[in-house]
Each structure stands twice: as C-alpha cells, then as structure tokens.
Amino acid sequence: MFNDLSMCRMARHPGHLTNCQPQENEDVCAVCNGAGNFLCCERCPRSFHFTCLNPPLEDTPEGVWFCNKCQAQTNPPPREPKGLFSELIDNINRQNPASFRLPPLIRNYFTGVETGSHGEYVDNRDAKTMKFG
C-alpha cells in the first residue's frame, strides 16, 4: 500500500493533520506483530492488517478510519442491554482485536505445546496421525 508505512496517515489525509505534529504509525500490526500492508488509525500510532481487524476488511475504507479504541473514545458505541454477556460485548466493541497468546505458565508446563516468537499458539501436530471420531 505505502512504501513508507510509518507515514501512511499523512499520505492518506495530508490536510487532516493541520496544527499537529506528524505522528508515525507503527511498522508492525497491533494485533499479530507481523509486517505487511496496513490500515493505519488516523488518531493513534496503531496499524492493522486488513485481515486482523474484526470484522476483516478487503479494501481500504473511504474517508477517515479510526481503530475501535479511538472510535470508542470519541463516539462510543451504545451499551448492550443488560444480560449475561453484555459487559463482554461492550468490551469487545470498545477494544481493538488481539491475537491469542498462551500464558508463560501454560507454554512451559505442558509437553508438546509450542508457541511462536510472540507467544502465539503453533499447531505442529501431524495431520496424518490425528484421529477423529
């Protein structure tokens, strides 16, 4: 998308940042810590892979785009009706997606549990040896 991904906010909306200092965006995805093409938040330095967003996006959205956290600060989504999962749903709507990472105690305790460099679960089971049913 951009050769200099850290300045993609300025490239998308050069007139939007008047009266403020240019802020560099992160050069890794805020969800998975991976490199690649990003959608950059217009308010904070976070950058996201299109597929790491919830819901995933296929194309760059029109106009200014804010991550869930920044959007919730300026224009909070309506509260869910009281119920068993209402607090959980409210938190999901107000936070950015995050990749699942196994806690260090689990990573180091169980035999055969493998993780990547950032603590993400890696499934190294051989599909031929798995039994279903």
DSSP 94-109: HS-----B--HHHHHH
| Cβ atoms 36, 58 nearer than 8 A | no
pLDDT at 108 over 50: yes
Domains and their CATH numbers in the chain: 1-98 (3.30.40.10), 100-133 (no CATH)
pLDDT score at 118? 67
pLDDT in tens, 37-82: 999 999 999 999 999 998 899 999 999 999 999 999 988 888 888 9
pTM above threshold 0.75: no
**Phi, then psi, of 108 in degrees rounded to 5:** -90, -15
Contact between residue 97 and residue 52 where contact means Cβ atoms under 8 Å apart: yes
